[in-house]
């Protein structure tokens, strides 16, 4: 009986970990299942890519690679664990449900491709691109996700896939630039957004906040590696264009379109863009609007502080991250769903993806002082997001502990 309980708890942990759940949530669900079925002696130690399970007589180590974000599986496993806690499932029924969750299909490829295209267009608008720029980003985002589904996820390592993806989408944008279609800075910034590692970045922050420093540092390092791979791909594209055309492309900066930069358009773009990326993360369809609202609220906070209050970009990002965290926890409580589902999507408009592009471009074009400036700004924005989420989580935990003592 005990061995079977350990296997079921480990299965639940494996499903969650390989689909993007944070460490604390995985350990909580495994302990909940094991405790209910009477095996209090089980201990679980979870890392970002492995689970250690021990009891008085056995020890088991599992290596669990990250397969990609399928938050619908994470949500369903959490729901099963709560049913177990309420005594609604036998051990056999729990195992059968977990097996069914493992076999759940991803969202249809056509839905993912359209979401990538729509998300790229939405974020291009957020970054100031005009209608033509958004249309080009839409096409580039669509082709990028076709590549990821057809080749990137099947035949390439994570490093190679992200380098090739960054290079592909950059070359597409450069071709459009030579044809006189769109503003290169805007369209390429929007088009590379689907490659941004939102899940390891956000999970790394939450793991650090939960004082799980090994897992947090590992996941943030993973996110950094993906950013560097994207930058390498963009660099290769510009160097290839230079070798063919004989001169480096000159980009004056980001174009700000007067129509798409209006309050109404920015609000809609942030809502649609964030909801689109919820599809790519495998969020259950019933939560798409909730995720979009989290992203919209964060971006609206950012705009209010920047446009009306004259705040610096770092201060605006910091408070916007807090707003996203507050709203994400609110939706998680209301929906009885893991907070990571809303937090990963909601934080996306604030992630300094544009900073990655501009730092890379400035390095390739030998503008090293500008590269240092843009790179340092991107780093400051990253820390603003990190500290915004961590500070809110710490305050929430303090209030929770105080309430429990009373």
Instruction: Using the 3D structure, point to which of 83, 102, 121 is the last residue of a domain.
Output: 102
In a domain, residue 257? The reply is yes
In a domain, residue 137? The reply is no
Q: Are strands 43-47 and 50-54 parallel, antiparallel or unpaired?
A: antiparallel
Degrees to nearest 5, angle at CA 158 with 175 and 374: 60
In a domain, residue 111? The reply is no
Tell me, what's the pLDDT at 202?
87
Which pLDDT band, with edges at 50, 70 and 90, does 2 fall under?
low
Q: Are 201 and 230 in contact (CB under 8 A)?
A: no
Q: Which distant-in-sequence residues (6+ apart) come within 8 Å of 7 by Cβ?
A: 95
Instruction: Using the 3D structure, point to which of 49, 67, 102 is the last residue of a domain.
Output: 102
Q: Which distant-in-sequence residues (6+ apart) come within 8 Å of 220 by Cβ?
A: 200, 201, 204, 205, 208
The span from the CA of 153 to the CA of 1, in Å, is: 38
Give the domain range for residue 53. Answer: 2-102
In a domain, residue 113? The reply is no
Tell me, what's the pLDDT at 177?
93
Q: Are 317 and 386 in contact (CB under 8 A)?
A: no
Instruction: Using the 3D structure, point to which of 72, 102, 132 is the last residue of a domain.
Output: 102
The span from the CA of 374 to the CA of 355, in Å, is: 6
Provide the CA 188 distance to its chain's centre, in angstroms.
Answer: 19
Tell me, what's the pLDDT at 406?
57
Residues 203 and 93 in one domain: no
Between helix 71-85 and helix 91-102 the angle, nearest 10°, is 170
Which pLDDT band, with edges at 50, 70 and 90, does 361 fall under?
confident
What would the mean pLDDT of 197-207 be, rounded to a whole number? 86
Q: Are 302 and 350 in contact (CB under 8 A)?
A: yes
What would the mean pLDDT of 261-285 be, rounded to a whole number? 95
Look at 39-43, 78-82, 239-243, 358-362 and tell me which has the smallest mean pLDDT: 39-43
3-state secondary structure the chain: CHHHHHHHHHHHHHHHHHCCCCHHHHHHHHHHHHHHCCCCCCEEEEECCEEEEECCCCEEEEECCCCCCCHHHHHHHHHHHHHHHCCCCCHHHHHHHHHHHHCCCCCCHHHHHHHHHHHHHHHHHHCCCCHHHHHHHHHHHHHHHHHHHHHHHHHCCHHHHHHHHHHHHHHHHHHHHHCCCCCHHHHHHHHCHHHCCHHHHHHHHHHHHCCCHHHHHHHHHHHHHHHHHHHHHHHHHHHHHHHHHCCCCCCCCCCCCCCCCCHHHHHHHHHHHHHHHHHHCCCCHHHHHHHHHHHHHHHHHHHHHHHHCCCCHHHHHHHHHHHHHHHHHHHHHHHCCCCHHHHHHHCHHHCCHHHHHHHHHHHHCCCHHHHHHHHHHHHHHHHHHHHHHHHHHHHHHHHHHHHHHC
In a domain, residue 135? The reply is no
**Structural domain count, the chain:** 2
The span from the CA of 317 to the CA of 307, in Å, is: 13
Look at 45-49, 307-311, 345-349 and tell me which has the smallest mean pLDDT: 45-49
In a domain, residue 144? The reply is no
Query: Over the chain, what is the mean pLDDT?
Result: 90
Tell me, what's the pLDDT at 152?
66
Give me the percent of the chain exceeding a pLDDT of 70. 97
Tell me, what's the pLDDT at 213?
86
Residues 88 and 235 in one domain: no
Q: Answer whether residue 57 shows pLDDT above 80.
A: no
Kindly report, residue by residue over 294-324, the tens digit of the pLDDT: 999 999 999 999 999 989 999 999 999 999 9
Q: Answer whether residue 1 shows pLDDT above 60.
A: no
Tell me, what's the pLDDT at 384?
93
Tell me, what's the pLDDT at 354?
80
Q: Answer whether residue 403 shows pLDDT above 70.
A: no
Tell me, what's the pLDDT at 157?
83
Which residues are bridge partners to 63 per DSSP?
50
In a domain, residue 132? The reply is no
Residue owning tokens 């980009």: 251
Please give the residue that has the higher pLDDT: either 403 or 299. 299
Tell me, what's the pLDDT at 328?
95
In a domain, residue 183? The reply is no
Kindly report, residue by residue over 93-116, the tens digit of the pLDDT: 999 999 999 999 988 999 999 999
Residues 233 and 89 in one domain: no
Residues 92 and 236 in one domain: no
CA contacts within 13 A on the Cβ side of 236: 15
Residues 337 and 206 in one domain: yes
Using only the alpha carbons of the chain, give its radius of gyration.
22
Residues 272 and 387 in one domain: yes
Please give the residue that has the higher pLDDT: either 98 or 367. 98
**pTM attached to this predicted model:** 0.91
Kindly report, residue by residue over 106-147, the tens digit of the pLDDT: 889 999 999 999 999 999 999 999 999 999 999 999 999 999
Side-by-side strand order, sheet with 59-63: 43-47, 50-54, 59-63
Which pLDDT band, with edges at 50, 70 and 90, does 154 fall under?
confident
Please give the residue that has the higher pLDDT: either 67 or 162. 162
Q: Which distant-in-sequence residues (6+ apart) come within 8 Å of 100 by Cβ?
A: none
Residues 56 and 202 in one domain: no
Q: Answer whether residue 81 shows pLDDT above 70.
A: yes
Residues 209 and 319 in one domain: yes
Q: Answer whether residue 41 shows pLDDT above 80.
A: no
Which pLDDT band, with edges at 50, 70 and 90, does 404 fall under?
low
């Amino acid at each position: 009986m005990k061995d079977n309980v350990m296997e079921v708890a480990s299965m639940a942990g494996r499903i969650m970990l390989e689909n993007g759940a944070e460490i604390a949530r995985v350990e909580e669900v495994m302990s909940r299942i094991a405790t209910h079925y009477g095996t209090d002696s089980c201990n679980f130690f979870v890392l970002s890519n492995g689970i250690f399970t021990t009891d008085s007589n056995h020890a088991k180590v599992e290596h669990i690679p990250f397969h990609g974000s399928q938050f619908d599986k994470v949500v369903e496993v959490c729901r099963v664990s709560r049913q177990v806690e309420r005594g609604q499932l036998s051990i056999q029924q729990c195992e059968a449900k977990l097996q069914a969750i493992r076999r759940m299909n991803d969202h249809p490829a056509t839905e993912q491709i359209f979401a990538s295209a729509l998300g790229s267009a939405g974020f291009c608008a957020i970054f100031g691109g005009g209608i033509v720029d958004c249309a080009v980003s839409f096409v580039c985002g669509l082709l990028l996700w076709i590549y990821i589904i057809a080749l990137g996820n099947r035949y390439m390592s994570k490093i190679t896939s992200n380098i090739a993806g960054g290079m592909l989408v950059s070359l597409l944008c450069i071709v459009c630039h030579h044809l006189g279609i769109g503003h290169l800075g805007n369209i390429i910034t929007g088009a590379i957004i689907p490659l941004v590692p939102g899940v390891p970045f956000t999970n790394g922050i939450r793991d650090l906040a939960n004082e799980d420093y090994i897992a947090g540092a590992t996941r943030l390092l993973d996110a950094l590696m993906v950013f560097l791979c994207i930058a390498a791909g963009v660099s290769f594209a510009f160097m290839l264009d230079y070798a063919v055309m004989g001169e480096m492309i000159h980009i004056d900066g980001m174009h700000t379109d007067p129509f798409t930069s209006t309050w109404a358009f920015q609000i809609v773009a942030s809502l649609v863009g964030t909801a689109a990326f919820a599809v790519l993360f495998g969020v259950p369809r019933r939560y798409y609007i909730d995720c979009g609202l989290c992203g919209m609220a964060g971006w609206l906070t950012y705009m209010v502080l920047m446009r009306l209050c004259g705040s610096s970009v770092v201060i605006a990002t910091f408070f916007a991250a807090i707003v996203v965290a507050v709203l994400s926890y609110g939706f998680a409580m209301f929906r009885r769903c893991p907070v990571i589902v809303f937090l990963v999507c909601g934080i996306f408009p604030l992630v300094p993806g544009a900073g990655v592009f501009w730092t890379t471009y400035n390095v390739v074009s030998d503008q090293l002082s500008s590269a240092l400036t843009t790179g340092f700004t991107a780093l400051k924005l990253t820390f603003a997001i990190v500290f915004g989420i961590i500070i809110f989580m710490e305050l929430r935990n303090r209030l929770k502990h105080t309430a429990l003592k009373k």
